Amino acid sequence: MNKEALTFEIKKIDKKTGARLGVIHLPHGDVETPVFMPVGTQATVKAMTPEEMKEMVGSYIILSNTYHLFLRPGHELIKEAGGLHKFMNWDRNILTDSGGFQVFSLGDLRKITEEGVEFRSHIDGTKKFLSPEKSMEVQNYLGSDIMMAFDECAPYNATYDYVKKSMQRTTRWAKRCKEYHKQTDKQALFGIVQGGFYKDLRKQSAEDLVDLDFPGYAIGGISVGEPKEEFLDILRYTAPLLPQNKPRYLMGVGTPDYLIEAAIAGIDMCDCVIPTRMARNATALTHYGRLNMLNAKYEHDFTTLDKDCNCYTCKNYTKAYIRHLFKAKEILGARLLSIHNLRFLVNLMENVREAIKQDSLIDFRDEFYSKYGYDK
Amino acid sequence: MNKEALTFEIKKIDKKTGARLGVIHLPHGDVETPVFMPVGTQATVKAMTPEEMKEMVGSYIILSNTYHLFLRPGHELIKEAGGLHKFMNWDRNILTDSGGFQVFSLGDLRKITEEGVEFRSHIDGTKKFLSPEKSMEVQNYLGSDIMMAFDECAPYNATYDYVKKSMQRTTRWAKRCKEYHKQTDKQALFGIVQGGFYKDLRKQSAEDLVDLDFPGYAIGGISVGEPKEEFLDILRYTAPLLPQNKPRYLMGVGTPDYLIEAAIAGIDMCDCVIPTRMARNATALTHYGRLNMLNAKYEHDFTTLDKDCNCYTCKNYTKAYIRHLFKAKEILGARLLSIHNLRFLVNLMENVREAIKQDSLIDFRDEFYSKYGYDK
């Protein structure tokens, strides 16, 4: 039997919550968990260089999107370049999603069959096809350290019947992914638990996927627009259904409170486009809540974004200057807020890990929430 | 008498051309000449951080625009921030232009009188007024190391009569600037020679301004759309009219050939938006000519932009990747080409200085032209 691409160690469990402090050993280095993974959709974390992701943000793993790279520049080209790491000049870990979430988001532009999904490219309208096998081929060509099984993420308002069928197909697809994917010593393949907001379907999905014995598991299909209580309910129900000794990845999360709650629920990995997307929209995440830098009140504000942050941006620039950059539509504005927002979330998870070490994650959360202005 | 903000030393003169190797001593450090000054129009060199300007590009002086900063965020705000250096986090030298070139470019939106120029803001249409005194006030507030006198840059097709009157007014305005500007120990004020494409007017302008005894002189009103021979003719005629022992600045130049010819003609300083503007338009300046990165022929080109360049971009990225970034409209594309193009021109001038040391500037030019594909 081959050596596996991924091994996972749990170093410590928070006594009051069960939150896990761990290390994922991967082909491109170790990743301490719980971890926030910034998103580099099109083979670049928007507005950032790889060096900045290491030195200014402190990331050891980023996410990239199979759907986008499949369409442009194409996975064959990236293979020809020597793989995604080399293509984009990033020598730490990469997780790729399966393309499922994006193709299902296309609505009328896609058609689902048992075989896979036919869809039209959002770039040029040409017909394309993704299936479990094709998604594996694309991700194999990209050479990511962690690959995701091709799944369907059912919409929030889907009926029980729809979600059940979709979840069962997702399981059959997960099996096909596992059968297709050969280089398990180089790339770890995760299964994705679906089942919408129906607990019995979540349970079934988790059990079926655990039977397939993946090296890690994701929870998909929540944080898709539902109220926070429903999110927390399904999260707290589903996470414990997954094996203790394998990494658990909550997909598409996101905001500081969701990240902290995910860690408390026993999640090890999260990703979201929020920090870079907000940055380009002039919004800063800070310990004291979100700041919209276009707000006139910052015009003469010569203080830094966040007095509790020591990122490059907060060390060197004032709110007044950053506001000027956004008013003047200067690229540096998006850059400075991207650095800050990414560092903010990566640093948040560093603090979460430290709190787990001290068995004080609940205290950490309560203090964070009261500063930020969140309700508990 | 106060210490002057600027002193200039000529270290060596190229025996075959008269090109000058020098050092300008300024409040924010020494600048070796001939030098290319990148442009940071709105208090940022587009897409770049100050650290990148130092470490990746190697700039000791940048230019910023009075017109733009006067309108947004306003010179009072920048004064309140502690001056332009502090506002934008740049602790090396800054040259500010006078705003003249920009307001005269507004065409029908401005009205010239002896007192100054009334114009409408390109941002919000509000009425504004710039005069010699106002330009000095703005530049004093900005706190640039080198300030420019408020001048009129007559258009290329202007009549002899128009250019004569405009040149004479520019001289009267230069005198008013000199009278207004008090902090000559902190900021050096340059006069600008005008006179269009009429040599007798150029001579008159130079003589009158030399009489006013500025610490440095610029040549304005060429490189405004005329054929290259006319540019060279006026450049070569005007440069020797200026004092040997003071820095000579050719405004708004630009391309590699113009920069080399300027040095040969005895120019010490140049500036242009070309490297960053071209970068945002996907064009790379290289030793082998300009490359448009959107060209399909680079799709599978896994070589670097320029094999004779060792900038950050050329050390780490392929043409195929850069092309992908532009096709995908990713900010990193503009960033990588901005770094490369800026480094290319700053490095070009480093090589020009080295050639002057060796009395080999003509050989350097000829070799550069033959590689680049320029006609001599």
Cβ atoms of residues B353 and B34 within 8 Å: yes
* Nearest-CA distance B46 → chain A (Å): 7
What per-residue confidence (pLDDT) applies to A134?
98
Question: For the sheet containing B20-26, what is the strand order?
Answer: B7-13, B20-26, B29-33
Closest Cβ–Cβ partner in A72, A81, A328 for B320: A81
Taking an 8 Å cut-off on Cβ atoms, the answer to whether B330 and A42 are in contact is: yes
Taking an 8 Å cut-off on Cβ atoms, the answer to whether B332 and A49 are in contact is: yes
* Nearest-CA distance B37 → chain A (Å): 19
Over residues B212-237, the mean pLDDT reads 97
Chain A CB contacts of B326 under 8 Å are: none
Closest Cβ–Cβ partner in B81, B320, B324 for A320: B81
For helices B160-180 and B132-142, what crossing angle results, to 10°?
Answer: 50
Q: Which of B145, B151, B257, B271 is catalytic?
A: B271
ipTM: 0.97
C-alpha span between B312 and B350 (Å, rounded): 17
Cβ neighbors of A176 (< 8 A, separation 6 or more) are A131, A132, A133, A150
Over residues B128-140, the mean pLDDT reads 98
- What distances in angstroms separate CA A361 from CA A59, A350, B163, B356, one per listed residue? 22, 12, 74, 65
Cβ atoms of residues A63 and A88 within 8 Å: no
Check whether A1 has a pLDDT greater than 50.
no
Taking an 8 Å cut-off on Cβ atoms, the answer to whether A324 and B49 are in contact is: no
Chain A CB contacts of B318 under 8 Å are: 81, 87
Q: Is A97 a catalytic residue?
A: yes
Check whether A370 has a pLDDT greater than 90.
yes
What are the backbone dihedrals phi and psi of residue A119, each rounded to the nearest 5 degrees, phi first?
Answer: -150, 170
Taking an 8 Å cut-off on Cβ atoms, the answer to whether A43 and B88 are in contact is: no
Element (H, E) at A136: helix A132-142
pLDDT tier at B105 (50, 70, 90 boundaries)? confident
pLDDT tier at B331 (50, 70, 90 boundaries)? very high
- State chain B's mean pLDDT as an integer: 97
Backbone conformation region of residue A195, classed left if phi is above 0, alpha if psi is from -120 to 50, else beta: left
- Local structure of B291: helix, strand or coil: strand
pTM, entire model: 0.98
pLDDT tens readout for residues A339-368:
999 999 999 999 999 999 999 999 999 999
Taking an 8 Å cut-off on Cβ atoms, the answer to whether B44 and A318 are in contact is: no
Q: Is A213 a catalytic residue?
A: no
Closest Cβ–Cβ partner in A73, A318, A330 for B81: A318
Q: Which of A14, A97, A208, A268 is catalytic?
A: A97
Closest Cβ–Cβ partner in A77, A299, A332 for B300: A77
Chain B CB contacts of A87 under 8 Å are: 318, 320-321, 324
C-alpha span between B295 and B310 (Å, rounded): 23
Chain B CB contacts of A328 under 8 Å are: 42-43, 68, 72
pLDDT tens readout for residues A13-66:
999 999 999 999 999 999 999 999 999 999 999 999 999 999 999 999 999 999
Taking an 8 Å cut-off on Cβ atoms, the answer to whether B335 and A299 are in contact is: no
Closest Cβ–Cβ partner in B73, B324, B335 for A43: B324
* Nearest-CA distance B314 → chain A (Å): 12
* Nearest-CA distance B123 → chain A (Å): 10
Over residues A255-268, the mean pLDDT reads 98
Q: Which range has the worst mean pLDDT, A2-11, B138-147, B363-372?
A: A2-11
pLDDT tens readout for residues B257-289:
999 999 999 999 999 999 999 999 999 999 999
Size of interface A-B (CB pairs under 8 A): 101
Cβ atoms of residues B343 and B58 within 8 Å: yes
Q: What is the 3-state secondary structure (H, E, C) of B257-277?
A: HHHHHHHHCCCCEEEECHHHH
- Residues on chain A bordering chain B, Cβ-to-Cβ distance under 8 angstroms: 42-44, 46-49, 68, 72-73, 77, 80-82, 87-89, 299-300, 302, 316-318, 320-321, 323-325, 327-328, 330-332, 334-335
Q: Which residue has the tokens 């490095």?
A: B347
Taking an 8 Å cut-off on Cβ atoms, the answer to whether A330 and B44 are in contact is: yes
pLDDT tier at B376 (50, 70, 90 boundaries)? low
What per-residue confidence (pLDDT) applies to A355?
98
What per-residue confidence (pLDDT) applies to B106?
85
* Nearest-CA distance B346 → chain A (Å): 21
